[in-house]
Every structure is written in structure tokens, then in C-alpha cells.
């Protein structure tokens, strides 16, 4: 991790710069999904070359990058090629082995650091981090217990009735609600742990949520921090469906508390890059009423996609600036926005046959911005794209969002 008070050798990397061997400035990303694709777009817009390391030959990011290294994330030859091509390297998903980032960091600027990604990879470490930060962030995570052995399971089942009903979550490799089982009784907990394969888990108390929100923070090598205004998120079946990003989407005091907490959660570990911190809003008057921190993603996040069309700089622009050591622009939102996720279901009819969504009708509505990720196969629950809706005022954005949702059969907009 860099020392905040000193310049980092070799940074900034300007897009028009060449190295001693005359090779152009190139930014690298581990992972070839949609987040990598939008990162590549942002880097290229500034004039950088890009390199993507991703085994899938048809990956969303690989398809649009200057270089696509088609190897496994831990392949020494592929990693050597990435390090050779790039001056700075980032990751687009948190399940890339932390050791890989650590090894790359011996030769190149890597942001975020392996240690930060390692925390976000493991719910046990993540919750320990949030707990350690609580004194400065002012926000706690949901009450929980760690279950890594049959003995720990027995103790938690016998003694932690306070955590029921709860959600048993695998410590590693969960996303979009996968690797989670809701449990109401000690017997159900025991069965759920077996069902999850007896791997390391946390049992988290189920809280009465009134809302969910997230904050995108970007932090530079020199400690400069900027953040977007917190956004409100609606999940359906464990997957983000809708993001509301406009004045009034969240109570201002709560939004400010979330923003400040996210900044301190990033600062506590000297984080470099874009970090998304997700929060629960718990009913006032209940035992854990107020803001509760859920998890963090060491990268741009689905809930920040609205920044592509509603802000003067997107979350991907900030990732590029942060990793390359450029000054971070102060993000400013110029339009109210609603983001609607487009899952594979949009392309499937009731019998599971592929159909073409009614794009002409959707795109003729004012303020609709379609982003598709170039994935060939539409599967239920698969993130295929998103649609940002912007407009001159919140009411018109909501009206268009409702029309789009009706046209495409999208869930999650009932409450607006
Ligand atoms: P992501 O795709 O964001 O990484 P994930 O699979 O890691 O998701 P979580 O964020 O832990 O899972 O949970 C998914 C959703 O389930 C949350 O956004 C929330 O709606 C609900 N949820 C999770 N934990 C709790 C809890 N303790 N109390 C109430 N609801 C919860
Ligand atoms: Mg989550």
C-alpha cells in the first residue's frame, strides 16, 4: 500500500505517454465481465490502451479491449504478459485470487490492493473490518456469528437464538443472493450448513429492512477521496433490480451518514480505487434501527451504473483516474436517474423461448440510455445489460421508468 504523503514512483501514467521501450500507456483489468467492459470503455475514452485477462474468448470486456489475454486468472504466463503490457492493473471482480494481485503488485501498480480485495472476498474478514471501523464509521454490521466447524455450528445452534430468524451465508464466493439460505430454527440452521457443503459461513440476523442503499467512493494513491451521492437500491430475489438516484431517494441525513461511513471504511485500509459499500436501512425503533453496513465491493458496482449517464464522471472514469494516479474529478450528478437492470428474463418468453424485447418502444421514450454487455446467451437471472433513465425532474424519470418496466416486464418498481 502506498504511503499517502509521498508520490508513488511511476505515477501518474498519462494516456499519451510511452515507456522507455516506446510502448503506449496501457491499463489492465483482471476479469472480462460487464464491469471490465465499461472500465475498458472509460479507459479508451481517455486514450489509454487496455488489456483484459479473461479465459472466456467471448467475454464482454475481452471483445472491446486492445489486448485480450485468454488465460486463467492465476496462469503465470498470462499474468506475466499482463504485467509486461500494463503500467497499472485493476480487477473487475473480487474473486480473483488475492495472491495474484499481490504478485502483480511486485512489478506494477495494482489498485485496489490484494489486502483490500482479500477482505471483500471473505465475509468473516469483511465483518471483522466493519467492526474494527465502527468506532470511526459510526455504523455496525448486522449481528452475526461465524460458523466454520461442526463444533461452532453446535454452539451457535444452541446459544444464538437471538440470531434467528437469520440468513446463513457462505463466507466466500457468494453473489446475487447465491450461497445463502434463510433459516428460522436451530434445526433448519444445521440442515442449511450441510446443504451449503459445511464450508465457512456466517449466520446473520434477519433485520427488518425499510430500504437498501449503497455508496461509491473513489480514493487515490495520495489519499484524495471523492464520492457519489448515495443511491437507493431495490433487490428482487437477491439480485439488484432498480437503483434510484435522485434527490429524495433517501433521507438526506441518512445519505450523509452512509457517505461518511463509506469514506471511513475506505480510508481505514488506505484503499486505492473505487469501492462500493452497501448498507441496510433498518426500521427505526427496532433493535438495530438506522443504518447497518452490509458488504463492500472492491470495484465499481452495479448500483453505480447510473453514473454513466447522470453524472459528469462515471464510476468507471473514477476507477481509471484512481489507478493511473490522475487527479480525481469531483463527481457531480446533473440529472435525476433510475437504473433498471436487464436480466436474461427480458429476452425469454413464458415458455423459455428467446424473443426480442420491444426496443423501438423503449428507446422512443425520453431519457432512456440502453447499455448491453454483448453477451450472446440470455439466461434467466443473467445480467445482460441495464437501462438508465434520466430526465429534467424526478417525476418525469419515474413516469418513463414505469413505462419501460411495463414494456419489458421488469420487477421492482411497485413502490414508486
Ligand atoms: P451481492 O450480489 O450484492 O454481492 P450477495 O449475494 O453478496 O449480494 P447480500 O448482499 O449479503 O448478498 O444479500 C443479498 C440481499 O439479501 C440483500 O441485498 C438484502 O436484500 C437481503 N439480505 C441479506 N442479508 C440480510 C439481513 N441480514 N437482513 C435482511 N435482509 C438481508
Ligand atoms: Mg449484496
Predicted structure pTM score: 0.96
Q: What is the mean pLDDT of the chain?
A: 95
What is the bridge-based pairing of β-strands 49-53 and 26-30? Answer: parallel
> Within 54-122, where are the H helices?
76-85, 98-104, 114-121
Looking at the fold, whether 397 and 340 belong to one and the same domain comes out as yes
- Cell digits for 306? 447510473
pLDDT over threshold 70, residue 201: yes
Report in angstroms the alpha-carbon separations of 394 from 146, 370, 410: 43, 19, 19
Measured from CB, residues less than 6 Å from any atom of ligand 1 are 142, 167, 169, 174-178, 204-207, 209, 212, 235, 238, 278, 294-295
Q: Which residue has the cell 466447524?
A: 149
Residue 384 lies in a domain: yes
Domain co-membership, 265 together with 295 = yes
Assigned domain for 133 exists: no
Does 117 map to a domain?
no
- CATH number for the domain spanning 85: value is 3.40.50.20
8-state DSSP, 149: S
Nearest to 262 by CA among 302, 289, 294: 294
Q: Please report the pLDDT score of residue 2 as a whole number.
A: 42
Q: How far is CA 44 from CA 26, 305, 369, in A?
A: 9, 18, 20
Q: Which three cell numbers stand for residue 202?
A: 456466517
Q: What is the pLDDT of residue 273?
A: 98
Mean pLDDT confidence for 115-133: 97
- Considering every ligand atom, which ligand is closest to the CA of 301? 1
Contact between residue 123 and residue 199 where contact means Cβ atoms under 8 Å apart: no
- Among the atoms of ligand 1, which is closest to the Cα of residue 209? 29
pLDDT tens sequence across 65-105: 999 999 999 999 999 999 999 999 999 988 899 999 999 99
What's residue 5's pLDDT? 47
Q: Predicted confidence band at 178 (pLDDT cuts at 50, 70, 90)? A: confident
* 1 pLDDT tier (thresholds 50, 70, 90): very low
182 and 216 in a common domain? no
Find where cell 511511476 sits: 10
Please, are residues 335 and 395 in contact by the beta-carbon 8 Å criterion? no
242 and 329 part of one domain:
yes
Ligand number with the minimum distance to the CA of 120: 1
Q: In the chain, how many domains are there?
A: 3
For the chain, the distance separating the N- and C-terminal CA atoms, rounded to the nearest angstrom, is: 43
Q: How far is the CA of 243 from the centre of ligand 2 (A)?
A: 13
Confirm if 104 and 89 have CB atoms less than 8 A apart: yes
Centre of ligand 2 to C-alpha 3, Å, is 31
Classified as helix, coil or strand, 108 is coil
Domain match, 193 and 225 both:
no
Q: Mean pLDDT throughout 122-143?
A: 96
Q: Which of residues 205, 224, 239 is at a domain's end? A: 205
C-alpha cell recorded at residue 397? 424519470
Looking at 110, 132, 152, the residue that finishes a domain is 110
DSSP-derived secondary structure letter, 333: B
pLDDT in tens, 263-293: 999 999 999 999 999 999 999 888 888 999 9
- Residue 409 shares a structural domain with residue 331: yes
Query: ∠ CA 220-40-74 to the nearest 5 degrees?
Result: 85
Phi-psi sector, 306: left (phi>0), alpha (psi -120 to 50), beta: alpha
- Name which of 396, 95, 346, 333 is nearest 241 in CA terms: 346
99 in a structural domain: yes
Residue 3, pLDDT above cutoff 50: no
Residues 334-353: tens digit of each pLDDT: 999 999 999 999 999 999 99
Which conformational region is residue 138 in: left (phi greater than 0), alpha (psi within -120 to 50 degrees), or beta? left
What CA–CA distance (Å, rounded) separates 182 from 154?
18
Q: How far is the CA of 294 from the centre of ligand 2 (A)?
A: 7
What is the gyration radius of the CA atoms in the chain, in angstroms? 21
Distance of CA 133 to the CA centre of its chain: 20
Nearest residue by C-alpha to atom 9 in ligand 1: 177
Q: Within this chain, do residues 150 and 70 fall inside the same structural domain, yes or no?
A: no
- Are 92 and 226 in the same domain? no
- Domain residue limits at 52: 26-110
Using one digit for the tens of pLDDT, what is the confidence trace for 33-52?
Answer: 999 999 999 999 999 999 99
Confidence band, pLDDT 50/70/90 cuts, at residue 137? very high
CA of 102 from ligand 1 middle (Å) equals 29
- Of all ligands present, the nearest one to the C-alpha of 202 is 1
φ and ψ at 380, to 5 degrees? Answer: -55, 135
Cell of 122: 471473505
Which atom of ligand 1 lies nearest, measured to the CA of 175? 6
CA 238 / ligand 1 centre spacing (Å)? 6
Question: Do 214 and 195 share a structural domain?
Answer: no
Residue 32: pLDDT over 90: yes
- Whether 105 and 147 share a structural domain: no
pLDDT above 90 as % of the chain: 91
Domain boundary, last residue among 63, 94, 110: 110
Task: Indicate whether 116 belongs to any domain.
Answer: no
Residues 86, 201, single domain; the answer is: no
CB 383 within 8 A of CB 341: yes
Residue 340's Cβ-count burial label (10 Å; 0-12, 13-18, 19+) is buried
127 within a domain of the structure (yes/no): no
Task: State the pLDDT at residue 151.
Answer: 98
pLDDT confidence band for 191 (50 / 70 / 90): very high
Residue 272 falls within a domain, yes or no? yes
Confidence of residue 174 (pLDDT cuts 50, 70, 90): confident
The answer to whether residues 339 and 374 belong to one domain is yes
Amino acid at each position: 500500500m502506498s504511503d499517502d504523503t509521498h508520490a508513488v514512483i511511476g505515477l501518474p501514467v498519462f494516456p499519451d505517454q510511452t515507456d522507455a521501450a516506446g510502448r503506449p500507456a496501457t491499463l489492465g483489468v483482471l476479469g472480462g465481465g460487464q464491469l471490465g467492459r465499461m472500465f475498458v470503455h472509460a479507459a479508451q475514452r481517455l486514450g489509454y490502451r487496455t488489456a483484459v485477462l479473461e479465459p472466456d474468448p467471448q467475454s464482454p470486456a475481452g471483445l472491446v479491449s486492445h489486448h485480450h489475454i485468454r488465460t486463467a486468472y492465476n496462469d503465470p504466463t498470462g499474468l506475466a504478459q499482463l504485467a509486461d503490457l500494463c503500467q497499472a492493473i485493476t480487477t473487475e471482480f473480487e474473486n480473483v485470487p488475492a495472491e495474484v494481485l499481490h504478485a502483480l503488485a511486485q512489478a506494477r501498480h495494482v489498485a485496489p490492493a490484494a489486502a483490500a480485495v482479500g477482505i471483500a472476498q471473505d465475509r468473516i474478514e469483511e465483518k471483522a473490518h466493519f467492526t474494527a471501523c465502527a468506532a470511526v464509521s459510526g455504523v455496525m454490521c448486522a449481528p452475526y456469528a461465524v460458523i466454520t466447524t461442526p463444533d461452532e455450528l453446535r454452539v451457535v445452534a444452541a446459544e444464538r437464538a437471538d440470531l434467528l430468524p437469520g440468513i446463513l451465508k457462505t463466507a466466500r464466493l457468494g453473489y446475487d443472493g447465491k450461497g445463502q439460505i434463510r433459516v428460522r430454527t436451530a434445526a433448519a440452521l444445521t440442515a442449511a450448513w450441510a446443504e451449503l457443503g459445511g464450508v465457512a459461513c456466517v449466520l446473520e440476523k434477519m433485520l427488518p429492512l425499510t430500504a437498501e442503499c449503497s455508496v461509491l467512493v473513489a480514493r487515490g494513491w495520495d489519499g484524495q477521496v471523492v464520492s457519489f451521492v448515495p443511491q437507493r437500491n431495490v433487490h428482487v430475489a437477491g439480485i439488484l433490480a432498480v437503483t434510484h438516484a435522485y434527490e429524495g431517494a433517501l433521507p438526506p441525513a441518512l445519505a450523509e451518514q452512509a457517505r461518511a461511513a463509506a469514506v471511513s471504511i475506505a480510508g481505514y485500509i488506505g484503499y486505492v480505487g473505487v469501492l462500493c459499500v452497501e448498507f441496510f436501512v433498518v426500521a427505526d425503533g427496532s433493535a438495530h434501527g438506522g443504518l447497518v453496513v452490509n458488504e463492500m465491493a472492491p470495484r465499481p458496482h452495479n448500483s453505480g451504473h447510473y453514473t454513466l449517464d447522470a453524472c459528469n464522471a462515471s464510476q468507471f472514469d473514477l476507477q481509471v483516474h484512481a489507478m493511473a494516479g490522475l487527479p480525481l474529478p469531483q463527481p457531480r450528478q446533473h440529472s435525476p436517474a433510475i437504473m433498471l437492470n436487464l436480466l436474461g428474463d427480458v429476452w425469454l418468453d413464458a415458455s423459455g423461448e428467446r424473443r426480442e424485447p420491444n426496443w423501438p418502444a423503449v428507446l422512443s421514450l425520453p431519457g432512456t440510455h440502453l447499455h448491453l454487455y454483448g453477451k450472446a446467451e440470455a439466461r434467466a437471472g443473467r445480467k445482460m445489460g441495464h437501462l438508465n433513465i434520466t430526465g429534467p425532474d424526478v417525476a418525469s424519470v419515474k413516469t418513463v421508468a414505469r413505462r419501460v418496466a411495463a414494456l419489458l416486464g421488469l420487477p421492482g418498481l411497485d413502490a414508486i
